[in-house]
Amino acid sequence: MQSEANFRISRISAHLNPSNVEMGENSMLEQAKCRAKGGAPGFKVAILGAAGGIGQPLAMLMKMNPLVSVLHLYDVVNAPGVTADISHMDTGAVVRGFLGQPQLENALAGMDLVVIPAGVPRKPGMTRDDLFKINAGIVRTLCQGIAKCCPNAIVNLISNPVNSTVPIAAEVFKKAGTYDPKRLLGVTMLDVVRANTFVAEVLGLDPREVSVPVVGGHAGVTILPLLSQVKPPCSFTSEETEYLTKRIQDGGTEVVQAKAGAGSATLSMAYAAVKFADACLRGLRGDANIVECAFVASQVTELPFFATRVRLGRTGAEEIFQLGPMNEYERAGLVEAKKELIGSIEKGVSFISK
Ligand SMILES: NC(=O)c1ccc[n+]([C@@H]2O[C@H](COP(=O)([O-])OP(=O)(O)OC[C@H]3O[C@@H](n4cnc5c(N)ncnc54)[C@H](O)[C@@H]3O)[C@@H](O)[C@H]2O)c1
Ligand SMILES: O=C(O)C[C@H](O)C(=O)O
């Protein structure tokens, strides 16, 4: 047993490391012991791609989440700076940084939830599928690390094209013998966040009072808002339906064009990612009736993956809800969504199995 004074000294020297990036095993241990004295219980969360446009505000918001006790920030660049910065926030979570591939395994060991916004974003004129070439390999490497170091973690996959990266992750986990479909969730929350906002504008309501299920996938016509199921119950003219559906489907492109080459949605995505991660953590804690939309392995349609409302629990997506009654416009949209989705899913699967 060390004295209280020694604990304090080791804690101070740990923090004199200017990067606060993965320290030697001993000082890490001291820090952990020190922390254990006053540390709040909570979940261990890793963000992979934490120094990016989404990663940084996501890290900040996760540091503010009272359900998080340990926050690991991993990136191939700039992880030390982001970690030093975030670690000064006077909230409960202990923050540790990890830089580059050699530190990936330590970043992942023991995590309950891994959020992945690593990868390149779109520029004007690109589709999400144009990102496949680079992001597929990034997601494969990160998921191999998850399979090895935290096979029971819930995974929130943000990297695009989500319609293909989720099947890639599933194949990596299958190969490693760790696949549990309930724990792998493609993040489509930004589509729901946008849908709530745009629908509220049309209805003249506060967006916090509006709930729009968005199903299918996360690209163009695969994004299918079910406006007939909006809460509170309401109706739309055919012009409103057309306007809202297109605006929700093109929300990402609207931001890409407005940023004019400087990337895609980052701040609204960080907000949406934290909203979703928080729902996953509340599910893990055992809270009842946590329901959100996500792109998951599914038997709701003939496709192996599909976004629908899911109930989040202690083991991940524990219940997958059916699509519910749809109008003619939505049924036609579903046909178009499935046509595109099947190709994106197959592309992801064959990237690993070929
Ligand atoms: N699911 C969604 O709704 C949604 C919304 C917005 C953006 N996205 C996607 O999220 C991804 C990230 O977007 P961004 O704007 O944050 O991009 P960004 O370029 O600003 O940040 C990406 C970060 O990933 C890091 N990175 C690259 N390779 C890595 C690796 N092998 N391991 C760990 N980190 C790595 C980079 O260093 C960078 O810090 C893009 O693919 C984008 O299309 C998805
Ligand atoms: O549109 C993009 O490329 C990023 C993201 O998928 C979004 O919906 O904002």
CB-based burial of residue 111 (10 Å sphere; 0-12 exposed, 13-18 middle, 19+ buried)? buried
Rg of the chain on CA atoms, in Å: 21
Mean pLDDT on 337-347: 98
The model's pLDDT over 162-204, given as tens digits with 9 standing for 90+, comes to 999 999 999 999 999 999 999 999 999 999 999 999 999 999 9
Question: Buried b vs exposed e over 60-78: b needs ≥16 C-beta within 10 Å?
Answer: bbbbebebbbbbbbbbeeb
User: With 70 as the cut, is the pLDDT of residue 263 above it?
Assistant: yes
Number of alpha helices (DSSP H) and beta strands (DSSP E) in the chain? 12, 11
Mean pLDDT in the chain?
A: 92
Nearest-CA residue for atom 19 of ligand 1: 120
2-6, 154-158, 253-257: least confidently modelled range: 2-6
Backbone angles phi, psi at 23, to 5 degrees: -95, 175
Q: How far apart are the first and last CA of the chain?
A: 54
- Residue list, ligand 2 pocket, CB within 6 Å: 121-122, 128, 160, 190, 251-252, 255-256, 264-265
DSSP secondary structure string for all residues of 7-61 = HHHHHHHHHHSTT-BS--HHHHHHHHHHHHHHPPP-EEEEEETTTSTTHHHHHHH
CA distance 31 to 185: 33
The SS3 of residue 94 is strand
pLDDT at 187: 99
pLDDT at 41: 81
Cβ of 279 closer than 6 Å to ligand 1, yes or no, is no
pLDDT at 40: 59
Active-site residue set: 218
Ligand 2 atom with minimal separation from the 122 CA: 3
The model's pLDDT over 307-329, given as tens digits with 9 standing for 90+, comes to 999 999 999 999 999 999 999 99
pLDDT at 29: 47
- Band (290; pLDDT cuts 50, 70, 90): very high
Count CA within 13 A, CB hemisphere, residue 62.
Answer: 36
CA distance 346 to 136: 13
Mean pLDDT on 234-243: 98
CA distance 203 to 267: 25
Give yes or no for a contact between 98 and 79, defined as CB atoms under 8 angstroms apart: yes
pLDDT at 53: 98
Whether ipTM exceeds 0.95:
yes
- Band (291; pLDDT cuts 50, 70, 90): very high
Cβ of 294 closer than 6 Å to ligand 1, yes or no, is no
- Band (354; pLDDT cuts 50, 70, 90): confident
Candidates 126, 127, 160: which one to mutate for ligand 2, based on the most atoms within 8 Å of Cβ?
160
Domains (ranges, CATH) in the chain? 37-186 (3.40.50.720), 189-353 (3.90.110.10)
The model's pLDDT over 105-144, given as tens digits with 9 standing for 90+, comes to 999 999 999 999 999 999 999 999 999 999 999 999 999 9
CA distance 127 to 253: 9
User: With 80 as the cut, is the pLDDT of residue 338 above it?
Assistant: yes
CA distance 57 to 113: 17
The model's pLDDT over 48-107, given as tens digits with 9 standing for 90+, comes to 999 999 999 999 999 999 999 999 999 999 999 999 999 999 999 999 999 999 999 999
pLDDT at 16: 40
DSSP secondary structure string for all residues of 195-232 = HHHHHHHHHT--GGG-B--EEE-SSGGGEEE-GGG-BS
Tokens standing for 59? 């890290």
9 annotated as belonging to a binding site for a ligand: no
Cβ-based neighbours of 274, under 8 Å, separated by 6 or more: 58, 61, 62, 65
CA distance 107 to 240: 47
